[in-house]
Amino acid sequence: MIKIGKTKKKATRHKKKKERTERAKRREINVEAWVDRHLEEFVTLSGLDMLGLSIKTYKEILSDILIQLFGSTTSYTNVKTLVKRYIRNKRKLDQVIATRIASLLESFSNEQLEYIVYNIGDSILYLASKLYSAAKEAGREDLISIIRSKWNFSWVKNKTKILPVPCPKCGFNSLTPDLVCMVCGATVTEKELKEYIGFTQLLKELTEDLGCDDLNKLSKYDYVLLEDSKVKVPWNEKQPLDIEIYLSSREKNLINEELKKKCRQKQT
């Protein structure tokens, strides 16, 4: 015997559930279309209009950010709400936007360059060269100083705890062991490097700190190691970014003179 009442109730429940699902689907917001309609308003209300980008560029940079800020697609969100969400996450989002602008554009207005330099994060490690060139061309030593500081911070955070040797041309701690700068691209001579870091004084300070045995050992070498702006004895463990600095006859004499002075005093 078929139980008609129960079957009818079950069919009714199924129908209502199907109707609810269909209504939910009908309510779902097309966020990409929403972005197209409201992008300009968001740019104005958020203050990002000061960047002076084209609508096409704003869309390329901001579309996925706005979609994330929109959240659920089953309920409508207005522009002012998205602006508030942007402001709450401003520091993190501005880093992303700054990186995208720096990567996308070939040249920058003054406002764009300032925004990028003030907001960029760890991506400075692969964008420093481009930003340094732009800031130098604009005559913005203040921005170069900020780029340099951010480079150092991000390098120690993400690469090695010890900074590379400073470049005599741009002042960034960005010189490779083959004397090529990672930021300005210059190839420097050993003479230029020695003059820039005050090598003679650094070598003198090293010899004053060494005992007789180490001085005697150092006098048999033709080079020392340079780590950041510190001179090290050549038998210390060599780090990947250490630079070998070859000693001139005058510099070797400095070592021998300290050896004679210090060791004669010990013997008398």
**3-state SS, one letter per residue, for 12-47:** HHHHHHHHHHHHHHHHCCCHHHHHHHHHHHHHHHHC
Give the type of residue at 265.
Answer: Q
DSSP string, 176-218: -TTSBBTTT--B--HHHHHHHHTHHHHHHHHHHHS-HHHHHHH
Q: Give the Cα separation of 227 and 239 in Å (integer).
A: 8
Q: According to the model, what pLDDT value does residue 9 have?
A: 53
Q: According to the model, what pLDDT value does residue 262 have?
A: 86
Whether residue 215 lies inside any domain: the answer is yes
Whether residue 244 lies inside any domain: the answer is yes
Tell whether 128 and 58 lie within a shared domain.
Answer: yes
Q: Give the Cα separation of 75 and 149 in Å (integer).
A: 44
Mean pLDDT across the chain = 91
Q: Give the Cα separation of 64 and 56 in Å (integer).
A: 14
Tell whether 46 and 125 lie within a shared domain.
Answer: yes
Q: According to the model, what pLDDT value does residue 16 have?
A: 52
Whether residue 180 lies inside any domain: the answer is no
Tell whether 48 and 147 lie within a shared domain.
Answer: yes
Residues 6+ away with beta carbon under 8 Å from 23 = none
Whether residue 102 lies inside any domain: the answer is yes
Q: Give the Cα separation of 180 and 215 in Å (integer).
A: 31
Q: According to the model, what pLDDT value does residue 90 have?
A: 97
Of the candidates 72, 61, 129, the one whose C-alpha atom is nearest the C-alpha of residue 95 is 61
Tell whether 148 and 223 lie within a shared domain.
Answer: no
Tell whether 152 and 198 lie within a shared domain.
Answer: no
Can you tell me the mean pLDDT for 193-199?
98
Dihedral angle sign, alpha carbons of residues 138, 141, 142, 145: positive
Give the type of residue at 261.
Answer: K
| pLDDT tens string 94-138 | 999 999 999 999 999 999 999 999 999 999 999 999 999 999 999
Whether residue 194 lies inside any domain: the answer is yes
Can you tell me the mean pLDDT for 218-229?
97
Tell whether 224 and 128 lie within a shared domain.
Answer: no
Number of domains in the chain: 2
Domain extent, residue 215, equals 190-267
Helix axes 190-197, 199-209, angle to 10 degrees: 70
Q: According to the model, what pLDDT value does residue 5 have?
A: 53
Tell whether 212 and 122 lie within a shared domain.
Answer: no
Per-residue confidence band for 7, with pLDDT thresholds at 50, 70 and 90: low
Tell whether 105 and 51 lie within a shared domain.
Answer: yes
